[in-house]
Every structure is written in C-alpha cells, then in structure tokens.
Structure 1
Amino acid sequence: MTLFCKGATYERISKADEGDEDGVIRQGEDTSELAARREIPIDSRRFRDNDKSATHGKHRPDYERLMAAVRRDEVDVIIVYMLGRLWRNRRERAEGIETLRKHGVSVLCVKGPELDLTTASGRLLAGLLGEVDTFEVEQMSEREQREMRQRVERGAVPTGPRCFGYTADGAEVIDAEAAEVRKMHEALAAGATLSGIASEMNKRGILNRNGRPWTHNAVRFLLLNERYAALRDYHGTTYPGTWPAIISEDVWRQAVAILTDDSRKTSPGPARKWLLSGIARCGVCDDGTTVTSAQRGPKSSAKTGPDRLYKCRGPVKHLARNAEPMDQLIASTEPGEPLGIVLRIIEQYGSQLLVDEERPDMDELMAKAGTLRARLKNMTDAFADDDDSDALEFKAAVRRVKARLADVEEKMTHPARAAVLGDLVGSDDAVAAWDALPLDRKRAVVDMLMTITIYPAGPGRRAFDPRSVKVEPKILGHGVAE
C-alpha cells in the first residue's frame, strides 16, 4: 500500500522543435507508469512545461502552478522523470526544497531515488544530485561558449536568421539587397532619419528579410549591425570575419557614431512633416527654443486646405507664423520666383562649402592644391603650344597630377558636409538635385548650412516681410541675404 494519496506529475523539456511535444509526452508516460506501479492517485494534478529552460530562467507557468498546489497542501509527492527536470539552478532548487520541506512533500524519480524532503538526509541527497545536474549544465555551457569563441576568432559566418543582404548561410552577398544596404548607410550619413529611410524603402516596395515593410527599429538594427562590415562583436571585442563585406568598417563606424550620438533623437515616432519643424528658433524666446509646425483649424480655401503654421514650442506661444512664405524664402525653386537661400548659397559657394576649415594643415593642403592646379594649367598650355608633344605622354602626366589633386582635395573635405551637401555641390543642376531630395535630407541640408530665427509678424494681417526671418550661415563667414 502506498504512503502517498495526493500525487502530482511534472514534465519538462528544454528544447523542442516547433509543435514537437514527443519529449514531454514520453516523460508523461513514464511518470504515469511509476504512479500506477506505486498506486499513487494523480487525478488531474498533471503539470507540463514544453521548451522551457530552467537554467536560463524562462517563465515556467506549470511549475509555478505546481508549487502553488504544494503550498495549498494539495500535493504530498511529485513524480518526475529525473530530478534535473524539476530544478536546474541553485536558487530555484533551494527555494523548492524549502517549500517541499515545509509542506511535507516528497519527490519520486523515474530515473533516480525517492527523496523524502522532510528529512535531513533526503534534503542532502536532493542538494547533491542537484549540484551534479548544475555542474553538467554549466560544463556544457562552458564548452558551448568556448566553441562559439573559437568560431568567432576564426571569422566563421554567424548562424541564425538570414541577414538582409546575404544568403541564408550568410556566406554570399545578394547584390540587389546589398545595394539597398549601402543606400541606407549613405542616406543616414547624408542626414536622413530612420523613419525617413524606412518610408523611402517601403515607398519603393523594398521589403525586409521577412517580406514585411521596414520600420524605424528595423532600419536602426540594420545600420548598427557590424556584420555588414564583415565584423563580429563577442563580449565587447570586435573580430574580423571571413564572409564578404557589404560596407567598409569606416562606413559602419560612422553609422554607429551617428546613431549613438546623445544629441540625436533616436526614439521611434512620426517623422517631421515640414521643412523648418524643430530647426527654426523663436526670436522672442532667444534661448535656442525651436519652433514646431501645426495646422490652423479653419480652411483658407477649398483648394489649399488649412494653413500650416510655425509656432513657438515654449510654454508661452510667442508666435504663430504662416509656414508657406518661410519655406519659400529658404528653399524656393519656383520658376519665375527668386531662388531660396539654400540654393543661392549652393550656387554661390559650391565646393567651398565642403572645405574643413578646422584642419590644422588646411593652409598647407590649399597651397598644394593651388600648385597642382597651376601645374595642370601650365601642362595644358605647353601641350597646346608644342606641335611635337606626345599626346599619350601628356594624358598620362595629366592623370597623375589629377590623381594627386583629387587626393589633396579629399583631405580638405569635411566628411559630414560631403555626406549631406555632396549631392547638391557636385550636381550640374543644383535645383533639380534639391527637388529630388526627400524631406529629411532637405532638412539636414538646411540645418547644416544655417541658423534660422523667426520673429513675430506684428499686429494685424500684413504681407510677409522677409526681414522677420533672420538667417545666419553656419559654415561661411560671408554675409547671406536675409
């Protein structure tokens, strides 16, 4: 005759393929057989956690229900396949043993002894067996970590879900996706927002690796992923990989620097809708407080809809100005109308905008560039005046000088300015290039080139006065029309 009258069974398996319950089913058959052999009634007290690792602290709902039943004195013996299925970490084991001691609950193992946890010897044996289980798990974990570190040190391709831009095994590049990865990094460097990049990808019908539209966080994760530079981070150390890189390490590190900049807003949210939102300042606050955009309720007309406003963001709303004439002042490309200040700066100063004036060797670089340009001119003049000159030799010499000049000019260039302004400065048609930019890129250009301060228009309805908007260049020391 059995001494137990309130038995319960518990089964758990740590790893199981999706939908595969064969492991816990086998455990259940064995625990049920032991209960029948010992004539222990189980009734409905069966508890089962499938694919729940006790080692890594995963939530085990049925284990918690089992221990709740123990505390209600509804169980006097727990039947498990082996003790390691019940506890696999020290904290949980110590708490479990103490709970079972208080409520006089024993443990029966299909593969193992009977443990009377109301006795010191039973608790000692449970602790010793549990320590053996913990030792085996920790030793296996150490082996896996050492194997992982060896794979990383050897530059092996990472395992896991497919990475956008690579094949499923991670060893080869998918050219079309890789081109999109490069575009995303270029857009970020040029001032695009994460939401803007995601919106542009979705607009062109480019889906992520799961065939879904891009989100702010998905773009951020991709841009921060060192795998695209054929690198791998392991416990704070970066190792080179053997798979093909899609971007250079410098490009990846630039993306990390941009996205981890404390001054950058990184939280997901709606993208800015207007050119000067969050850029222009309130001239009354005069403390760097930016203005934001809004919409007036009543419609100005059936065609135009509600007027857009730039409003002071401070607690006291010092101003609410019609946004349209201000946007035109800064960025107009309307035929027959004066060009906006942005385009006038681009056309007037061109490549000068890219020069990094803060380089300590800038004077030396400018002198070298001047010398090389003069040399090119002299070579061209000499070739034109000498009928016996060898054209091939002339072209080869010109290529060498031009290559040296390009190297010097690259050193003179401010990387951030080149990323944001390069499309405009290097274009034969700056107006067309500006019109082709998405809004977040235009905003980055405006923010890099100038500080804009908006002042109240004055009482009553009046025509827009450009003098109520102050524009101060950030890059050039030259005056710019206000």
Structure 2
Amino acid sequence: MVNSLSGMIGREYLRVSARGERSITEQHDDNSRASAGEGVTLGVPYSDQGSASPYAKHARGDFDRLIADLRSDQFKAQILWLWESSRGSRRVGEWATLLDLCEDYGVLIHVTSHERTYDPSNYRDRETLLTDGVSSEIEVRRLSARTRRGIDANIRDGKPHGICPLGFEREYEIRRGKRVPVRQYAHPVEAPCIVELFQRVRAQDPFCEIERDWAARGIVGRRGKPLSAQTLRDLVTHVCYLGLRCTKGGTVQAAWPRLVSDALFYEVQQIISDPSRIKGNPGGAHYALTGAITCDRCTGPITVRYRSKEINYECKRGCWRVPKSDVDEIFIGDAQEPGVILSYLGRRDVYQILDAEDSTGEAAEIRDVLAKARADLQETEQAQPETMSEERRFARRSERLEVRIAELQERQQKLIRPASLSALFQPGPNVAGRWESTPLAAQRAIAALLLSPDVIGQPRIRPIAAVAKSATMSERIRWVRA
C-alpha cells in the first residue's frame, strides 16, 4: 500500500456499460473528491461506454488507447485512477495485462471504492487486484449462464423473447423489478399490414413500390418512421409469422398465433430468393417479355432498342433484330385477337394445372428442411466468435449451409411453381383489359411462368439466316418444350 500521493498526477479510466450503473459523470465526481483528499491532480481521463465482459461485442476505444499509451510510455501520469476495479476489465487476461504494464512503467492503481492505492509490483497488492479480476469475470460468467438457462427454457417452450416483432403485441408482468413478456398476440392494426405485405410480394409487387405506398398511407414502424424496402424484405423472412421460433437446432412451435399460412410464406421465400427477381428500383425494366424470350442461336437474353422511330427487340449479342410490335402481337395481342399469353390466361382449366400440389409430399419435406437450413444460416451469420478458430469454423459452416440451401432451392423449384398464377392474375372476363392494368413486375412474372418449357413452352427467336427469307414472325419462333 502506498502511503503518500500528494503532488502526483493521476489519470482516470471511466466506464459504464448499462443503465442503472453509476454514470461516467458520477464516477468522475467521486474520483475528483477522493483525489483532492489525497492531493492528486487528475489529468485528461479515458472513458468508454460499453461492456468489459468476455461476451462484449463492441471494442472499447479508450481502453485500447490506455493500453497503447502505457506500452509507449505516453501515459504521462503516476497513478491510474479507477472508480472500482471491475471498471477496468472483467476479463482476467485483459486485467492481468493492464497490471503488468502498470508494474513495468511504475504506475500505481487507485480504486476509489476501496479507498486505497495499490502498487502492482507489491505481491500482496497484486494478489488483491488479481483476485478482484477473477471475481469480476466469474460473476459475469455466472450471470450469463443463469440468463442463458432462462432464455433456453423460453425457447424450448416457444415463449416470446427480445424485441416484439412488427405485427404482434405483448402483455408483460413485473418480476423482480423487470418487465417479463407473458403473452404475444396479433396486433389489431399491424397484423393485417403484415398479411398484406406477404400477399403483395406473392403478387410480385416490388418492395420499393410497397415502401412508397405504405409511406403515403402512413404505415410506419415502431419508431414512427416509414419502413424501407430492405426492412420490408427482412420482415417476410421471419418465421415468427408462421407461429415458429428460431433455435440453435432449427425452429420450435411458438406460443403465439401464426399470421400467414405455410403456403403463402414459402411461396414468398421462393420469390425473393429467385436470382432472376428484379432487385432494388425496377425502373430498368419496362417491358413484359424481355425476360421470357431468348435468342435461338446464342440462347442469350433480348433487349429493346429504338432505331429511326421504330422499336425493336434485339438479341443482346447482335444475332438478330425484329419489330417489337410483331412479337407483342403474337405473345400478348389485344381483346379482338388475344396472343399466346392472353389466350392461355382466358382458360379456366389452366389454374388447376398450375396450382396442382406435389402428390408425393416431397416438396413439403424440402420446404421444411429449407426453412431449418435458412434459420441455421441466419444464426451462424449473427454469431459472435470469440477466437480466430471459432470464426473460421463459423465461416466454413456458413459456406456449407449456403451450398445446401442452393441445392434445396433447385430441387424445390423443380417440384413446385415459383408462385401461384392465381396470386398474379385471376381468371375471368376482360383478360386484355386486366392485363393492361396489371403491374409490370407481375406481367413479367406471368410471362416467365407461362413461357417456360413445362407450361406453354420457351420461345426462342431464330436469326433470319436460319429460316427462309420469306418466313413470318411466327415461323421464326422455335418453341422449346419439356
């Protein structure tokens, strides 16, 4: 123990990690009174806001600066002043490093709550400080284990935990001075909005369009701000709307009601995971057929070009160029002469064909496995590794899960449709008029669904060199069917 500190300079390390702990200002006031009583002048302090436990997710910038200053002999003081020893660190290794550096550079450590100054080079003082460090870490780990047991029990029972998801409301009760959720149920205003969101995504409405529409209607998030397109996309991936809760081993049945059906939820997952889906602002897509027709020579995509007041479809690699109106007449047409797509949409029997379920049940089985794999991937990506080896293990696991998900999606798409036709376009009269009023994104989805090898057939336009010079536009189209 040091007898006299009068005339020395001290520098504080101040830290607060949670509400309810003494604030940095209060710690500084206590330290100032104690230092004045010892005749010590306090210099510029180091201060952090954040946890110092082994489970902390964020770095402590000023603690790192304190360590760097000690190592480079830039500390410029004789005393490190702490409000209590746990403010320094709750990690034994980190705390021991701090003591070693203070010993190497002759820096004393004063702990205000102990009303005592320690010399790290004195074995009895060092024993006291090291014991404090061990006690601080053990207390954090004991609390973490107790909390983890409670969380695991809630997970197994499907009880709500964490932030209440949009679309739900909770009842709470006070236990030991804390608000504990006891029931989660559908929010009378938000839940219908969540159902609408899923339905609109299934109908191929772009997220940016839904964002603008909801902002205009005053539909906002919990903080009173409009929901962004990315937030809306994240919402439709949450299995909580199926009445499920994610766990480390997959999902468990939750204690709250579902908001959407399995069929609607998994159709939406297929739609948003489809690599051909337009991302972001759909302003670059202006035509319904460009994503469904290909070139017969190079099998590449087509585009639209304006040449001398004429609008043409062209192969992107320059294999051919044809008038857009001729192609649209064949595939779309009008009320008097409906084309291939409008004629097909006018048949009531096609909806039964396209909506047929997989009779073997394999699609449902793949759907469940895929949901578990996605939940596992999300949990792995959100994990906080504590060591380099653990980080590499998480990275390898993520790669394996991504490959697995891609394989499952490919198998799933072979068994069921990317989306139900009835969700995009209902059967009934005035097909041409309703087609004109259908959003472009939905028109493109319908065209891609119908103009596929296992439905109407995939149309490929042949270059003029591959057909007779007198060939009509219809004769230049080669249909590829399953």
TM-score (norm 2): 0.69
1-side partners of 2:279 and 2:99: how far apart?
45
Partner of 1:343: 342
Partner of 2:230: 217
Conservation of the 8 A alpha-carbon contact between 1:79 and 1:107: yes
Q: How does 1:214-363 map to 2 (within 5 A)?
A: 214-260=227-273, 263=275, 268=280, 270=282, 272-286=285-299, 289-292=300-303, 296=306, 300=309, 310=313, 312-313=315-316, 316-319=317-320, 323=324, 325-333=326-334, 335-336=335-336, 338-348=337-347, 350-351=350-351, 353-354=353-354, 356=356, 359=359
Conservation of the 8 A alpha-carbon contact between 1:4 and 1:77: no
Helix, strand or coil at the partner of 2:62: helix
Partner of 1:9: 12
Instruction: For residues 379-434 of structure 1, give each alpha carbon's deviation from its aligned partner in whole angstroms, at most 9, with x where no partner exists.
Output: xxxxxxxxxxxxxxxxxxxxxxxxxxxxxxxxxxx863772345535434433443
2-side partners of 1:118 and 1:439: how far apart?
76
Partner of 1:76: 78
2-side partners of 1:77 and 1:130: how far apart?
19
Conservation of the 8 A alpha-carbon contact between 1:230 and 1:240: yes
Bigger-Rg structure (1/2):
1
Give the letter for the 1:154 counterpart: D
Conservation of the 8 A alpha-carbon contact between 2:291 and 2:448: no
* CA deviation after TM superposition for structure 1 residue 229, in Å: 1.8
Q: How does 1:28-177 map to 2 (within 5 A)?
A: 28-43=28-43, 45-50=44-49, 52-55=50-53, 56-70=56-70, 71=72, 72-112=74-114, 114-118=117-121, 122-160=125-163, 162-167=164-169, 169=171, 171-177=184-190
* CA deviation after TM superposition for structure 1 residue 164, in Å: 2.7
Conservation of the 8 A alpha-carbon contact between 1:456 and 1:468: no
* CA deviation after TM superposition for structure 1 residue 135, in Å: 0.7
2-side partners of 1:278 and 1:245: how far apart?
35
2-side partners of 1:358 and 1:470: how far apart?
32
Sort the Cα spacing of 1:324 and 1:266 in 2 relative to 1 into closer, same or farther, 3 A. closer
1-side partners of 2:213 and 2:480: how far apart?
30
Conservation of the 8 A alpha-carbon contact between 1:421 and 1:445: no
User: What runs of 5+ residues in structure 1 fail to find an aligned partner?
Assistant: 301-306, 362-413, 478-482
1-side partners of 2:208 and 2:475: how far apart?
32
Sort the Cα spacing of 1:435 and 1:27 in 2 relative to 1 into closer, same or farther, 3 A. same
Conservation of the 8 A alpha-carbon contact between 1:232 and 1:241: yes
Sort the Cα spacing of 1:54 and 1:440 in 2 relative to 1 into closer, same or farther, 3 A. same
* CA deviation after TM superposition for structure 1 residue 343, in Å: 0.8
Sort the Cα spacing of 1:134 and 1:164 in 2 relative to 1 into closer, same or farther, 3 A. same
Give the letter for the 1:179 counterpart: P
* CA deviation after TM superposition for structure 1 residue 342, in Å: 0.8
* CA deviation after TM superposition for structure 1 residue 95, in Å: 4.0
Partner of 2:445: 444
TM-score (norm 1): 0.69
* CA deviation after TM superposition for structure 1 residue 127, in Å: 3.1
* CA deviation after TM superposition for structure 1 residue 53, in Å: 1.5
2-side partners of 1:128 and 1:121: how far apart?
11
1-side partners of 2:420 and 2:36: how far apart?
75
Helix, strand or coil at the partner of 2:197: helix
2-side partners of 1:320 and 1:94: how far apart?
75
* CA deviation after TM superposition for structure 1 residue 227, in Å: 1.6
1-side partners of 2:229 and 2:471: how far apart?
37
Conservation of the 8 A alpha-carbon contact between 1:354 and 1:418: no
Give the letter for the 2:107 counterpart: V
Number of equivalences = 399
Instruction: For residues 261-310 of structure 1, give each alpha carbon's deviation from its aligned partner in whole angstroms, at most 9, with x where no partner exists.
Output: 6x465964646343234443233323xx32345x65x894xxxxxx7665
Give the letter for the 1:346 counterpart: L
Conservation of the 8 A alpha-carbon contact between 1:342 and 1:446: yes
User: What runs of 5+ residues in structure 2 fail to find an aligned partner?
Assistant: 172-182, 362-414, 452-457
1-side partners of 2:446 and 2:82: how far apart?
67
* CA deviation after TM superposition for structure 1 residue 133, in Å: 0.4
Sort the Cα spacing of 1:470 and 1:198 in 2 relative to 1 into closer, same or farther, 3 A. farther
Sort the Cα spacing of 1:358 and 1:140 in 2 relative to 1 into closer, same or farther, 3 A. closer
Range with greater deviation from structure 2 (183-192 or 25-34): 183-192
Range with greater deviation from structure 2 (223-232 or 233-242): 233-242
Output the aligned Cα RMSD: 3.8
Q: How does 1:427-466 map to 2 (within 5 A)?
A: 427-450=428-451, 451-455=458-462, 466=473
